[in-house]
Chains A and B, each alone.
Chain A
Amino acid sequence: MSSNLTKLDIMRRFLWILCLWYCSACLSIAYAQTEKVTVSGIVTDEQNQSLPGVTVFSGSPLRAIGSTTAKGSYSVTIDRGAVIVFRYLGYLERRITHNGRQRTIDIKMQVDNNQLQEVQVVVRGYVQRSKELSTGSSFTISGKEIQEVPVANVEQLLQGRVPGLNIQNNTGAPGFRGSTQVRGLSTMTVTGSGSESFLQPTSPLYVIDGVPLDADKASEFGFQQQGPGMSPLSLIPQEDIESIEILKDAQATSMYGSRAAYGVIIITTKRGNSPVPRVRYIGNAFMKTPPMLRETLGGNLERQFKIQQILGNAIGMKDIYAISQTPFLSDSLNAYYNNSTNWQDIFYRTTYNQTHNVAIDGGNQKLNYKANIGYFGEKGVIQNTGFQRFNLNTRMEFRPSERFAFSGTVYGQIGKQNKGNGVGLLQQGVANNGQASTLLPGPSFFQSSSGVASSLRTNNDNSTRNLRTNIDANFMVIEGLRLTTNLSYDFSSNLEDTFTPAAANNQFARVYAFNGRDYQLYNRNSINYSKTFNEKHNFFINAFSEIYKKGTQNSITRQDKSPNDQFQGPWGFDAWASRGGGVLTNFKDARQASFAGSLSYDFMRKYIIDLSYRLDGDSGSGIDNPYSKNPAIGLRWNFNKEKWFENSEWLNLGALRLSWGKNIVPSTNLEVIYGKYNIGGMYNNVQGIGIDYRIIPNPTLKPVTTEQFNLGVDLSLFGNKIDLIYDTYYKDVSNLLFERYLPNTSAFDILLSNDASIVNYGHEVSLTIRPLPASSKFNWSFTINGAYNRDVLTGLPAEYNGQFIQWADPNDAYRQHIAKRIGRNALSNYLRINDGVYSHHGDVPVDPVTGKRYQTNGRYFEAGDPILRDLNGDFILDDFDYALTGNSQPLFTGGIYSTLSYGQWSVAIYTSFTAKRTVLNNALSDRLSLMRDPFALDANAGPRAVVPLNSIDMWMQPGDISKYPYAYDYTRYNSILPFRPDQTLWEEDGTYLKINSVILSYMFTKRFAQNLGLNNIKIYLSTENLHTFSRYSGPNPENVTNMGRDVSGGYPVPRTYNIGVNVDF
């Protein structure tokens, strides 16, 4: 009892002492606060480049007390001993405690590649919010990280940077974009057939400076697109980008409406931020080299090889005699057949290109402006292709008082593109001609084949002229209540003119003209209100309405037969030579009105709840389901603010996020809901108008619904040395449209219904390590991020009973079918199973009933032929012997990157990886089947090149155990088809690790720069697409279609070597 009393006594005494100490401490602070001191200094980044416009804060609560000048210097008056905070977008916050005597404090700020900083700003529903309070899953990339590699489309630099954002740069065509997916598959719609199967793109919604933009606009037709096909993203100069934020889960995207089901990418461009006018110049000179091309045997070697092939595989004297009847084999003295032409060299080239960009900005908080003038030029590695961009972007911001702000932007962009005679993504003509026999003479003044003429001499001129204007005004009515209005108008004019010379088109020249225009008028009015009660309860309400008016009209003209190649238009109309045209079916005149509201509440920034709802009405939806709806809930717990972590040394930030959201989109158009009439022929001299019998109208179509759950953890440990972000999600896409084939008694062909569904689930991790202390001269950070996504098909229309085979077009050379089966990955291949090569004749199975060997197309398999599994057991390889196999979508994607800087030097390496994906190596299939006919008497194909196959594991004689069947048996080739594309022999693992870019930069010392009369100079060397590590046997596992097919007619992805300079005047 007594001991208890004593304890209590001691405690009481201790508390007293504590109280006294605390009071005195308070007093001393109060005393210190009274004394002011002026501190000045220079703020620089890690490379000693001065940072203008850095905001300096002090006081409690923090108040902005100044900002740095153009030269990065500042001077502020603070309380002696107070904390000074320096904040600059894209950099880590620096906090310095004044030691009471300092007059000069020079600050070095570190680039922020930290996703978890409290100061980091995220955008939710067009409003900037603190990342600390955001419940959704998002990832931010600073514009600084994407400057040093010149690219036509900035999207390609995001590859491997964001977990869950799967970017495949699967085309090297200048100005085109690859495929982008956030969190797996959102569609199963595959258009095209065989090798040219094209998964409907489901790109995220891009919001550029608060204005939504449809990035898929140019690619809605798949490969066979018409018009310039330039991605709108290719028109944004990378130099003008301040930051990019990728919103992934349903809570983050909920306020962005229907298109946000596929994720949202927010691009913020730079704004004026320098009291003294500042001019920056960025220039790059870069070389693009084509990847290694196919090895070819040239000249006489080709001839000898073909003759040996014939002699070795002939089945009768007829074949031997045929040699002497084939001039290019026998007539070696004929100059026409006595060449060694490198055809690939004629079509592929190394190009030298440059970009220039001048950015001017200036102004202060009250009035600032910026202008960005840029040029980007890239000549394609395939002759006669290229892309150029000119841009002039300006922005002005006017903030006469704290309560009112007004900004206006004008973006003017011109993209010019040359596709040659291809369709952009595919260059089938070049691929075909590049395989021509080397014995033929190359193009010359005197002669040129039509294929060469069409590839090299087709005049193709595409241009997109885009003008985007945007004004934004906001007004604070009372403290916390802000009204904002935003009005933007975006207009593009798309033109394509193609002139095909007579030599390339059966002696009749042809013109093709595409004329399209798009516009989008957009208005958003919003009101938001924030209020804090008792300094603990914070409310934030955001509500806005959006109105869109969108229109598209594209038309084409095609005309054949000009008088000569010099006269390229205008041509008069002549029905005889007209090849049709008119307005294309993607005509659009649409309206959309949306209302959205969100409510956020947090308790001491510790417990956060977000509720949001959005309603979209679209003129393209039917009467029954006119609205898309997006409810979402998000919860967040910043557990590092809990008491038990208050003094934690190791936990800087810890948060747990949980969100749920739904995105309900009427994904149809009026045609599908109400049917369509077509203008037909004349009947009794009256124009006939009849029903379009392809799709039966279905007014009861339900909207496509995407429901997503997300659970995330954010951790920042050991003084920001380790950052870890983990997210796991479950995304259910239901009511997907599916074409159901109707019985032929029903007049219509197809019923579109909502009976398909897919589930994606997965995990995303991003881990950043900064092992060196802030005081170190070295600054090193290392990031690895990865995402695992699995898609599962969960629903199909009932009559399909769980499986649907999308057969390739019977005329398609690549009979590679697509299978969709419930419970499996949504897009599988449907192929013949290859089990190797028959080593001996006796290995071919014999039908015990008929005594016949296993056969196909009336020919019996022999040694050296592929073992194609006889699945149905009838000892005949026929159209039933197909099986589901593979997964065309990758399971793992991610990237590893690291930056290291020391003094003036810095080096960065960025890699990305994709793993566990089935790629069909059609390029190899094409290459091996070049041997199919040494005579090549086929008039269309012409003689073919010979490729060395020494490196191929191929059957050559009985007893060989090999992977690839015998290529030289040309007499049986067309029945056995040993290299038929529809077999699993071509299925390979498309796992790769790619070194995207390596950047080495050097910042000249301030002194040196100033001697030259400049403020800063930085030079850098960088490469793009440096090397890909892969076991894939084809040229590039990434340069495949989004269905995982390596089309040999695809545009190769070039390698870039760049030298760039960055000058501040």
Chain B
Amino acid sequence: MIVSLKVARLFCLAFLFLCLVLNLPLFSPDLRPGFWMAAAGSTSVSGSFPPKTRPLVIAIVPKSLDNPVFVDSMETAMSTAKELGVKLEWVAPFKVDPDLQVKIIEGLIWRKVDGIAISTSDPEKIRKVIDKAVEAGIKVATIDADCPESQRLFYCGTDNYKAGWACGEAMVKIVTERGLADKRLKTAILTGGIEAHNLNERIRGFKEAVAGKLDLEYVALLACDDDTTTGAKVVEAYIKEHPETDLFYFSGGWAFFGPTESMPLYQEWCNNGGIAVSMDTFYSVLQAAKKGFAQALVGQDFRKMGELTVKYLVDAINGLPVPMEYIDTGLELADESNFDLLLSQKKPWEMK
């Protein structure tokens, strides 16, 4: 009985050894689960993912998921990716959160995607992780919001300074037409994130465009973290407290993405002669402008952003040259003269 037990034990050991030898290739570094390493310490970037036999995977990381401005970009990016035979992932924090955006990018690095395009919510925080991704051999681009001084391959999006300049010029035109150019005008600005480079560029462009032409007193810089509801709320609250404000510059159209009925005081302010110029020419923003919520709009071409970003990123992954480091997707100007035309050409988001 004891002898048979010993034999059985020996047989089992031999079988286990054989299994181990046969399964060794399965434990190649690419397939080794990284979880246990991650569990022992922080998220590791040394883990590998499947070899290149799979289709190319590129990821676009907008600032947040809840901002509908990126929906057009996502659509064209996905269509382009489908055409090019690559897999596109669209990943971001639900709301603007630079730290979480960094984590998400680190996850992509760990998974060793082939390319990443990022809409930078905070250049200071994102720059490091971009460099880390580049060092890991991933092609990295920026979309919509650039991250200067990083090792990103290219930026695809609006020239935000130009966009801001266009807004400034539109403001100068309207104020002059109303005969207020020689008055000192109290001006409030709504932005998304205080640290967002693209928005700051727009504000800079706006200010430099009006400088010398108008006498503006910048009385407030309001931030809404790219949140549509917050945007409308802070504007409404500010106008309630400061109805004497003369001008409003919106560096993004967040306040008008939702129903305008939530901004009665602002509407009253507009009816009382308030002048507003806003970025973005989405359907809902055009609708609001037509109601008098803004006298001029400067739009971005998000569809082109999605399309070109995927195209050039795939090119870069495939070793093809990217035509330029700064890919400008152009601007779209709107005022009372073409609101109806543009509304007829665009469609609402209908997301809610």
Asked if A and B are interacting partners, one says no
Chain A residues proximal to chain B, CB less than 8 Å: none
Chain B residues proximal to chain A, CB less than 8 Å: none
